[in-house]
Homo-oligomer: A and B are copies of this chain.
Amino acid sequence: MKVDLERQILAANDVLAAENRALFEAAGVFVLDLMASPGAGKTSTILATIAALADRYSIGVIEGDIAGKVDAERVRAHGIPAVQINTGGACHLESAMVRRAAETLDLDSLDLVIIENVGNLVCPSDFDLGESAKVMILSVPEGHDKPCKYPNIFQVSEAILLNKYDTLGVFDFDEAEFRSVVASLNPLAPVFPLSATRGDGVQAWADWLAARIDLARGGAT
Protein backbone atom coordinates (compact mmCIF):
# COMPACT_ATOMS: atom_id res chain seq x y z
CA MET A 1 0.00 0.00 0.00
CA LYS A 2 2.82 2.36 0.89
CA VAL A 3 4.34 1.81 -2.54
CA ASP A 4 1.02 2.71 -4.17
CA LEU A 5 0.84 5.95 -2.21
CA GLU A 6 4.37 6.79 -3.26
CA ARG A 7 3.50 6.02 -6.85
CA GLN A 8 0.52 8.38 -6.67
CA ILE A 9 2.66 11.15 -5.20
CA LEU A 10 5.32 10.65 -7.87
CA ALA A 11 2.72 10.58 -10.66
CA ALA A 12 1.12 13.82 -9.44
CA ASN A 13 4.59 15.36 -9.23
CA ASP A 14 5.39 14.28 -12.81
CA VAL A 15 2.35 16.14 -14.17
CA LEU A 16 3.50 19.37 -12.50
CA ALA A 17 7.10 18.72 -13.58
CA ALA A 18 6.01 18.62 -17.22
CA GLU A 19 4.23 21.95 -16.72
CA ASN A 20 7.36 23.42 -15.12
CA ARG A 21 9.49 22.17 -18.01
CA ALA A 22 7.18 23.83 -20.56
CA LEU A 23 7.29 27.06 -18.52
CA PHE A 24 11.10 27.03 -18.37
CA GLU A 25 11.46 26.23 -22.07
CA ALA A 26 9.05 29.02 -23.03
CA ALA A 27 11.14 31.45 -20.97
CA GLY A 28 14.38 30.14 -22.53
CA VAL A 29 15.88 29.39 -19.15
CA PHE A 30 18.14 26.42 -18.37
CA VAL A 31 17.29 24.92 -14.98
CA LEU A 32 19.83 22.91 -13.00
CA ASP A 33 18.73 20.67 -10.08
CA LEU A 34 21.78 20.42 -7.80
CA MET A 35 21.63 17.52 -5.33
CA ALA A 36 23.99 16.41 -2.53
CA SER A 37 24.25 15.33 1.10
CA PRO A 38 24.00 17.92 3.86
CA GLY A 39 27.26 19.82 4.01
CA ALA A 40 28.71 18.58 0.72
CA GLY A 41 29.10 22.20 -0.40
CA LYS A 42 26.01 22.93 -2.50
CA THR A 43 25.81 26.63 -1.71
CA SER A 44 29.57 27.11 -2.08
CA THR A 45 29.44 25.35 -5.44
CA ILE A 46 26.56 27.57 -6.56
CA LEU A 47 28.54 30.68 -5.59
CA ALA A 48 31.65 29.39 -7.41
CA THR A 49 29.55 28.56 -10.48
CA ILE A 50 27.99 32.02 -10.45
CA ALA A 51 31.46 33.60 -10.21
CA ALA A 52 32.58 31.58 -13.25
CA LEU A 53 29.50 32.22 -15.41
CA ALA A 54 27.96 35.53 -14.33
CA ASP A 55 29.66 37.43 -17.16
CA ARG A 56 28.05 35.14 -19.76
CA TYR A 57 24.61 34.41 -18.29
CA SER A 58 21.94 36.03 -16.18
CA ILE A 59 21.50 33.69 -13.20
CA GLY A 60 18.86 33.10 -10.52
CA VAL A 61 18.80 30.65 -7.61
CA ILE A 62 16.10 28.65 -5.81
CA GLU A 63 17.27 27.44 -2.40
CA GLY A 64 15.59 24.42 -0.81
CA ASP A 65 15.97 23.71 2.89
CA ILE A 66 13.92 22.12 5.64
CA ALA A 67 14.25 25.35 7.61
CA GLY A 68 16.26 28.56 7.58
CA LYS A 69 17.08 31.17 4.97
CA VAL A 70 20.84 31.53 5.33
CA ASP A 71 21.57 30.02 1.90
CA ALA A 72 19.35 32.44 -0.01
CA GLU A 73 20.88 35.31 1.94
CA ARG A 74 24.40 34.11 1.05
CA VAL A 75 23.49 34.08 -2.64
CA ARG A 76 21.69 37.44 -2.55
CA ALA A 77 24.76 38.98 -0.94
CA HIS A 78 26.43 38.39 -4.34
CA GLY A 79 23.75 40.39 -6.16
CA ILE A 80 21.97 37.31 -7.52
CA PRO A 81 18.17 36.93 -7.23
CA ALA A 82 17.42 34.03 -4.87
CA VAL A 83 14.22 32.52 -3.50
CA GLN A 84 14.19 30.38 -0.38
CA ILE A 85 11.86 27.36 -0.17
CA ASN A 86 11.39 25.91 3.30
CA THR A 87 9.96 22.42 2.95
CA GLY A 88 8.93 22.34 6.60
CA GLY A 89 10.06 18.76 7.08
CA ALA A 90 10.00 17.27 3.58
CA CYS A 91 13.35 15.71 2.65
CA HIS A 92 13.26 16.76 -1.01
CA LEU A 93 11.83 19.40 -3.31
CA GLU A 94 8.74 18.70 -5.41
CA SER A 95 7.52 20.36 -8.59
CA ALA A 96 4.78 22.34 -6.88
CA MET A 97 7.28 24.00 -4.53
CA VAL A 98 9.60 24.84 -7.41
CA ARG A 99 6.71 26.31 -9.41
CA ARG A 100 5.74 28.68 -6.59
CA ALA A 101 9.36 29.75 -6.18
CA ALA A 102 9.95 30.14 -9.93
CA GLU A 103 6.90 32.39 -10.23
CA THR A 104 8.60 34.91 -7.95
CA LEU A 105 11.62 35.12 -10.30
CA ASP A 106 11.62 37.09 -13.57
CA LEU A 107 12.25 33.97 -15.68
CA ASP A 108 12.26 35.83 -19.00
CA SER A 109 15.27 37.84 -17.88
CA LEU A 110 17.24 34.78 -16.77
CA ASP A 111 19.40 32.30 -18.72
CA LEU A 112 20.14 29.91 -15.88
CA VAL A 113 18.29 28.98 -12.68
CA ILE A 114 20.14 26.78 -10.19
CA ILE A 115 17.94 24.87 -7.76
CA GLU A 116 19.67 23.78 -4.55
CA ASN A 117 17.78 20.69 -3.45
CA VAL A 118 17.45 19.59 0.19
CA GLY A 119 20.57 17.87 1.53
CA ASN A 120 19.80 14.19 0.89
CA LEU A 121 21.27 11.48 -1.38
CA VAL A 122 17.99 9.57 -1.62
CA CYS A 123 14.62 11.16 -2.37
CA PRO A 124 15.70 14.15 -4.51
CA SER A 125 16.77 11.65 -7.17
CA ASP A 126 13.19 10.35 -7.47
CA PHE A 127 11.50 13.69 -8.08
CA ASP A 128 11.47 15.36 -11.49
CA LEU A 129 11.21 19.12 -10.92
CA GLY A 130 10.98 20.02 -14.60
CA GLU A 131 14.71 20.79 -14.61
CA SER A 132 16.90 20.72 -17.72
CA ALA A 133 19.51 18.58 -15.94
CA LYS A 134 20.18 16.99 -12.56
CA VAL A 135 23.74 17.20 -11.27
CA MET A 136 25.09 15.93 -7.95
CA ILE A 137 27.95 16.72 -5.63
CA LEU A 138 29.76 14.15 -3.53
CA SER A 139 32.32 15.57 -1.14
CA VAL A 140 35.56 13.72 -0.40
CA PRO A 141 34.92 13.43 3.38
CA GLU A 142 31.74 11.41 2.68
CA GLY A 143 33.83 8.51 1.37
CA HIS A 144 34.38 6.69 -1.92
CA ASP A 145 31.82 3.98 -1.08
CA LYS A 146 28.76 6.23 -1.54
CA PRO A 147 27.94 5.18 -5.15
CA CYS A 148 27.44 1.59 -3.88
CA LYS A 149 25.10 2.74 -1.12
CA TYR A 150 23.13 5.41 -3.00
CA PRO A 151 23.25 4.19 -6.61
CA ASN A 152 20.13 5.94 -7.91
CA ILE A 153 21.34 9.51 -7.46
CA PHE A 154 24.58 8.65 -9.29
CA GLN A 155 22.52 7.18 -12.13
CA VAL A 156 20.16 10.12 -12.67
CA SER A 157 22.89 12.80 -12.54
CA GLU A 158 24.28 14.12 -15.83
CA ALA A 159 27.51 15.19 -14.15
CA ILE A 160 29.10 14.40 -10.79
CA LEU A 161 31.12 17.00 -8.90
CA LEU A 162 33.70 15.67 -6.43
CA ASN A 163 33.96 18.57 -4.00
CA LYS A 164 36.44 19.30 -1.21
CA TYR A 165 38.99 17.63 -3.47
CA ASP A 166 41.74 19.56 -1.70
CA THR A 167 41.13 17.35 1.38
CA LEU A 168 41.89 14.11 -0.47
CA GLY A 169 45.09 13.68 1.58
CA VAL A 170 43.19 14.01 4.88
CA PHE A 171 40.66 11.22 4.22
CA ASP A 172 40.92 7.59 3.19
CA PHE A 173 39.21 8.22 -0.19
CA ASP A 174 40.04 5.79 -3.02
CA GLU A 175 39.46 7.92 -6.12
CA ALA A 176 40.12 5.07 -8.58
CA GLU A 177 37.56 2.86 -6.84
CA PHE A 178 35.06 5.77 -6.75
CA ARG A 179 35.48 6.47 -10.47
CA SER A 180 35.23 2.78 -11.33
CA VAL A 181 31.87 2.34 -9.53
CA VAL A 182 30.52 5.63 -10.91
CA ALA A 183 31.52 4.56 -14.43
CA SER A 184 29.66 1.27 -14.00
CA LEU A 185 26.51 3.05 -12.76
CA ASN A 186 26.58 5.94 -15.20
CA PRO A 187 29.17 5.62 -17.99
CA LEU A 188 28.23 8.92 -19.65
CA ALA A 189 28.50 11.27 -16.66
CA PRO A 190 31.75 13.22 -16.36
CA VAL A 191 33.31 13.51 -12.88
CA PHE A 192 34.68 16.96 -12.03
CA PRO A 193 37.05 17.12 -9.04
CA LEU A 194 36.94 20.61 -7.58
CA SER A 195 37.22 22.75 -4.50
CA ALA A 196 34.31 25.16 -4.50
CA THR A 197 35.73 27.38 -1.76
CA ARG A 198 39.23 27.57 -3.29
CA GLY A 199 38.09 27.63 -6.90
CA ASP A 200 40.32 24.75 -8.10
CA GLY A 201 38.63 22.76 -10.85
CA VAL A 202 35.58 25.02 -11.04
CA GLN A 203 36.35 26.20 -14.57
CA ALA A 204 36.10 22.70 -16.12
CA TRP A 205 32.70 22.18 -14.49
CA ALA A 206 31.51 25.67 -15.50
CA ASP A 207 32.64 25.07 -19.11
CA TRP A 208 30.64 21.81 -19.22
CA LEU A 209 27.56 23.59 -17.85
CA ALA A 210 27.96 26.47 -20.31
CA ALA A 211 28.14 23.98 -23.19
CA ARG A 212 24.92 22.32 -21.95
CA ILE A 213 23.18 25.70 -21.68
CA ASP A 214 24.27 26.74 -25.18
CA LEU A 215 23.24 23.35 -26.59
CA ALA A 216 19.76 23.67 -25.06
CA ARG A 217 19.44 27.17 -26.52
CA GLY A 218 20.60 26.01 -29.92
CA GLY A 219 18.01 23.27 -29.81
CA ALA A 220 15.26 25.67 -28.78
CA THR A 221 15.78 28.22 -31.56
Task: Select the stretch in A18-26, A50-58, A139-147, A203-211 that faces chain B.
Answer: A139-147
- What residue in chain B is nearest A122 (Cβ atoms)? B91
Give the interface size class of chain A.
Answer: 35 or more
Chain A stretch 137-190: residues in CB contact (< 8 A) with chain B: 139, 141-143, 145-146, 148-152, 164, 167, 170, 172
- On whether the beta carbons of B126 and A38 are closer than 8 Å, the reply is no
> Residue A135 at the B interface, CB < 8 A?
no
Question: How far in angstroms is the closest Cβ of chain B from A1?
Answer: 9
Question: How far in angstroms is the closest Cβ of chain B from A87?
Answer: 9
Determine which of B2, B119, B126, B148 lies in contact with A121 in the assembled complex, contact meaning CB atoms within 8 Å.
Answer: B119
Chain B residues with Cβ below 8 Å from A39 are: 37, 139, 141-143, 146
20 intermolecular pairs with C-beta atoms under 8 Å apart? A5-B5, A37-B39, A37-B142, A38-B142, A65-B149, A66-B151, A67-B149, A68-B145, A68-B149, A70-B145, A89-B122, A90-B122, A91-B120, A91-B122, A91-B123, A119-B150, A120-B121, A120-B122, A139-B141, A167-B167
